[in-house]
Each structure stands twice: as structure tokens, then as C-alpha cells.
Structure 1
Amino acid sequence: MDIDAWVWWLIGAVALGIPLVVTAMPEFGMFAVGAVAAAVVAALGGGVVLQVLVFVILSVALIAVVRRIANRHRLQRPELATGVDALKGKQAVVLERVDSGGGRIKLAGEIWSARSLDGTQSYEVGQEVDVVEIDGATAVVI
């Protein structure tokens, strides 16, 4: 029994999909897509040289395009701040006197321990302060 070339290409695509799942390396996925394209060329009656050319050109093109897009996204900072980064720059209300030794504020609906950024400055109950950073579980305010 002779197996058609397109079946071999599909077997190759599945074989390339296994390391994609195991290693999470997207390059294997690009090669698998190239193998599927080569299987289509083989099923349509294309020669071995055309099948290999389609596999190589499509795989390399996908790797080049996807890598460029991935690098661009990796270098961009997220526009949406989350977690403690989202609290920086927010205003809070002093609940207990805040100085360099500590105090309490209400920040984003929660009660936080706080200390003043300037060791000589203190803030009284009811005063609004700005959060400049979060140091562990303590808000540093001015």
C-alpha cells in the first residue's frame, strides 16, 4: 500500500504540533502550518519541489512576521495599570494621622497603612493625600 504525499505532510504537521504543545515554542506551529500548506499542494497534484518550496517559504514567512509582531508587543508597556501600579497617583483620605512613622488612609475603598514620603511632613484626619508609591502593604503619600 502506497501512502500519498499529502498524508505524509499531514503526519509531519501533527508531529510538529506535538513539540509546540510540549515546549510552547510557536516556531513549531509555523512549521506545522507550512506542512499543512504543503499537504494541500500535494493533494492538488503539485510536485515534490513545489511542496517543499511552499513548506519552506510559508514557514519562514510566518516565523518572520510573527516574531516581528511578538517583539513589537513585548516592547510595548501595558496601557492599563493593574494591581498596586493602578494605585499610584490616586488620592486618598487620611483616617489616622500619617507621618514618617505611619498612619492609616482610605484608598480605593480600602483601608491602607501609610507613611509620608517626607519624614518631616504629617497629615491630619480628613486631609486628602496623593499616593506616590506602594511599599509592600504601605502606601507612601504626599
Structure 2
Amino acid sequence: MDWLGDHLWSLWLGAAALLAVAEMMSLDLVLIMLAVGALGGMVAALAGAPVLLQVLVAAAGSIGMLALVRPPVARRLHRGPELKLGHGKLVGRTGIVTAAISASETGRVRLDGDVWSATPYDESLVIAEGETVEVFEIRGATAVVHPVPQLDD
């Protein structure tokens, strides 16, 4: 029992290692926070603190990690890329005008292989056939487009 008292830090280290391995199975980010607390208990044991203080340090470290570190890390990990579905995925894409577009006359645009009816974003513009346009918005089955400026060589 004397050896255990002198090497209590190794029990804390073992507990931290087991918790870290168990975290790899669960991926909940809870057990790894408890492992960090166990490492705090190990540091207290290496400093020669009594067992009660080691337990308090481990508990405080674990609770602190669970309360302060886990929420933002979990939010960041669970947030994925924005998924655009349906017509919304066309916004920002470019297309080619197949029939002239003006405010008074709905034209046509080829977007991703499909032909869409289109109106200009700026109602004062007339967009000629063959011009490249960018989709600003989709209103029903009509694309609201604006010409893409062409750089002259």
C-alpha cells in the first residue's frame, strides 16, 4: 500500500489514458474532458497533494472542461457545410442567355444544362443573347440575373 501512495500519479495517468481510449469509441467529447481532469489530478499527485485535494482538482478540471471547452468545440465539430437544395443551389451560378432579356420581356437562360425563364435584376438593362449572366435569385420558375462584366484583352 505504501507503493500505491507514492505512485498515485500513475493511477491518475492510467485513468486519463483509459478515458481517452474510451472517448475514441464514443466521440461525445465528454470522456476526453474527464481525461483532462484526471491529468489535473495526476499533476496534483506529483506535487504531493493529499488524495482529497487530488480528487477536488480532478473534479474541478473536469467540470471546467465540460462547461467551458466542450460546448464551443462540439458546436464547431457538428456544424457542417451549408447544404443548398433545389433552386437555391443555382444562386451565384453563371449561365448563357439564349433569348434576349429585358424588363418588359422575359428571356431565356441556360443554367447547368437547363433552360430557365429569366428577368434582369436591374430593370433598366437589356441583356443580349449570348451574354454571360449570374443568377442573383430565383423567383418561382424565373431566374433573376445580372450580366457578368467581360474583361477585354
TM-score norm. by structure 1 comes to 0.64
Assess, with a 3 A threshold, how the Cα gap between structure 1 residues 117 and 69 changes in structure 2: closer, same or farther: same
Which residue does the alignment assign to 2:116? Answer: 115
- What SS does the corresponding residue of 2:12 show, helix, strand or coil? helix
- How many residues of Structure 1 are paired with residues of Structure 2 in the alignment? 124
Which residue does the alignment assign to 1:61? Answer: 64
C-alpha RMSD of matched pairs (Å): 4.0
- What SS does the corresponding residue of 1:15 show, helix, strand or coil? helix
| 1:27 and 2:33 correspond | no
Instruction: For residue 88 of structure 1, report the CA deviation from its aligned partner.
Output: 1.4
Instruction: For residue 67 of structure 1, report the CA deviation from its aligned partner.
Output: 3.7
In structure 1, distance between residues paired with 2:66 and 2:118: 49
Q: What are the ranges of 5 or more consecutive residues in structure 2 without an aligned counterpart?
A: 101-105, 120-126, 145-153
Candidates 88, 104, 113, aligned match of 2:110: 104
**Which of 56-65 and 68-77 deviates more?**
68-77
Candidates 12, 15, 20, aligned match of 1:17: 20
In structure 2, distance between residues paired with 1:68 and 1:23: 16
Instruction: For residue 68 of structure 1, report the CA deviation from its aligned partner.
Output: 3.9
Instruction: For residue 112 of structure 1, report the CA deviation from its aligned partner.
Output: 3.5
Q: In terms of Rg, which structure is larger? A: 2
Q: What are the ranges of 5 or more consecutive residues in structure 1 without an aligned counterpart?
A: 106-110, 134-138
Candidates 36, 40, 49, aligned match of 1:37: 40
Which residue does the alignment assign to 1:141? Answer: 143
Instruction: For residue 93 of structure 1, report the CA deviation from its aligned partner.
Output: 2.9
- What SS does the corresponding residue of 2:30 show, helix, strand or coil? helix
TM-score norm. by structure 2 comes to 0.60
Identity across aligned pairs (percent)? 29
Assess, with a 3 A threshold, how the Cα gap between structure 1 residues 62 and 75 changes in structure 2: closer, same or farther: same
Assess, with a 3 A threshold, how the Cα gap between structure 1 residues 71 and 31 changes in structure 2: closer, same or farther: closer
AA aligned to 2:65 is L
| 1:125 and 2:107 correspond | no
